[in-house]
Amino acid sequence: MARECSVAAALGVVGEQWSLLILREVFLGVRRFDAIQEATGASRAILVTRLRSLTQARVLERVDYRESGARTRQEYRLTPAGRELQPVLTALMQWGDKHLAGPAGPPLTITHTDCGATVRATLRCEHGHLLADTGHGLTVQHNL
């Protein structure tokens, strides 16, 4: 019997390549369908399907906008639940930068606007203690 798990539930929403690439683009400020399609390389059909599922899961929301002289269109914005995925994407990027970047290095760097330092995903307990990336110092409790 498969283990009931929040990781599995979350992967049901965002655990697919196109969904993560769409979220990457929206985090980077790309919000319009055509621009998301160009940046991800997703086909129109895939993009429509993934945007619909991310919207239904309340990770993204559609918001109307209208440019002067044009018809009303929609763009995609992160919901509060969607914004909470930022550390997940940052951690995936960090891992890719460390283990998969080519000789030229990482293609993208995220920095803190206020001080210019590189942003990193880290593990901390609720009391603020920094945990090693190795998984040491973690205790798992089964609540079911």
Contacts of 35 by beta carbon, 8 Å cutoff, 6+ apart: 25
H or E element, residue 73 = strand 73-78
- The Cα 139–Cα 144 span in angstroms is 16
Supply the pTM of this predicted model.
Answer: 0.86
pLDDT digits (tens, 9 = 90+) for 22-56: 999 999 999 999 999 999 999 999 999 999 999 99
